[in-house]
Amino acid sequence: MILRCEGLSLAVPDRGGQLRWLIRELELELAPGTVTVVVGPNGSGKTSLLRALLGLTKPHAGVVRLGDRAVGEHDPRARARALAWLPQRTELAWGMPAERLVMLGRAPHLSALAGPGANDWRAVGEALARVGADHLRERDVLTLSGGELQRVLLARLLATEARLLILDEPTTALDVGHALALLELCRELAANGHGILLSLHELDLARRYGDRALLLLGEQGRWQAGECREVLAPERLAGAFGVEVELRGEQLHFAPRTIPRPDR
């Protein structure tokens, strides 16, 4: 299935009660086999966009389609089997073994009364193996390190067996080694036919791992989308983030703006 935004517009009320546009008339497609990265300054609406894509919030205008129907019109369980989300933070109220947390990802497959079957345990095992967290199976999630927990949460995402995955800043809590491993996994999943959309703060990583990119400018809802390298070119990033950007080899280098902005 394909997830597609048509004329999607998102806005938040500002202090004066006026609408501030985060995104205006966005056209975007999340297709199987690709990794799409979403970047933009703080407050530019990355998380709001992802939540709208999942049908958690209603857009101000436009529509998000999953397959042939609006995302909100699907049966919730059927939608959950097609489209899955890893939020930015998951607050854990109490402990449980990692494999039980991963099993929560099987919810859209479980019938109302019967408990998990052999098939579900197999999916949980595969998901844990996929993220290299086999050894954490029985560990209490409250005792895991940030990197270990993120892998378990990722396994929870994979256990849904959804083909379309949306990840909100999945690398934020990770050290560079874990972050690279996660992004490698995203590439692998895309190669296996998953469609992946993730928001990232690290622009270098976004350039390296994305096929397509969406750059949110955070001003009047403007955005740019297209091939990753084109969208994340130094001059565009410089404009979006208000910094000096230079590309040396494959590496982006950033410096604060030295020339005062004309509007100051």
User: Does 30 help bind another protein (rule: CB under 8 A)?
Assistant: no
Angstrom distance (rounded) from CA 22 to CA 34: 25
Q: Are 186 and 196 in contact (CB under 8 A)?
A: yes
Q: Between vectors from CA 203 to CA 185 and to CA 63, what angle results, nearest 5°?
A: 75
Task: Name the minimum Å distance from CB 220 to another protein.
Answer: 27
The least CB distance from residue 90 to another protein, in Å, is 6
Q: Is 139 in the site for another protein (CB under 8 A)?
A: no
54 is a contact residue toward another protein (CB under 8 A): yes
Stretch that binds another protein, among 26-34, 36-44, 97-105, 207-215 (CB under 8 A): 97-105
Which of these ranges, 4-12, 36-44, 114-122, 238-246, lies near another protein under the rule CB under 8 A?
Answer: 114-122
- Which tokens go with 216? 């949110």
- Residue 12 interacting with another protein (CB under 8 A): no
180 binds another protein (CB under 8 A): no
d(CA 187, CA 85): 17
Q: How far is 262 from 264, CA to CA, in rounded Å?
A: 6
Output phi, psi for 155, to 5 deg.
Answer: -65, -35
Task: State which amino acid sits at residue 127.
Answer: A
| Nearer of residues 84 and 216 to another protein, judged by Cβ | 84
- β-pairing, 83-86 vs 164-168, is parallel
What Cα–Cα distance (Å) separates residue 140 from each residue in 36, 136, 137, 156? 33, 8, 9, 15
**Interaction of residue 259 with another protein, rule CB under 8 A:** no
Tell which positions 147-166 bind another protein, by CB under 8 A. Answer: 156, 160
Contacts to another protein by CB under 8 A:
51, 54, 56, 76-81, 83-85, 87, 90-97, 99-101, 104-105, 107-108, 110, 112, 115-116, 118, 121, 140, 156, 160
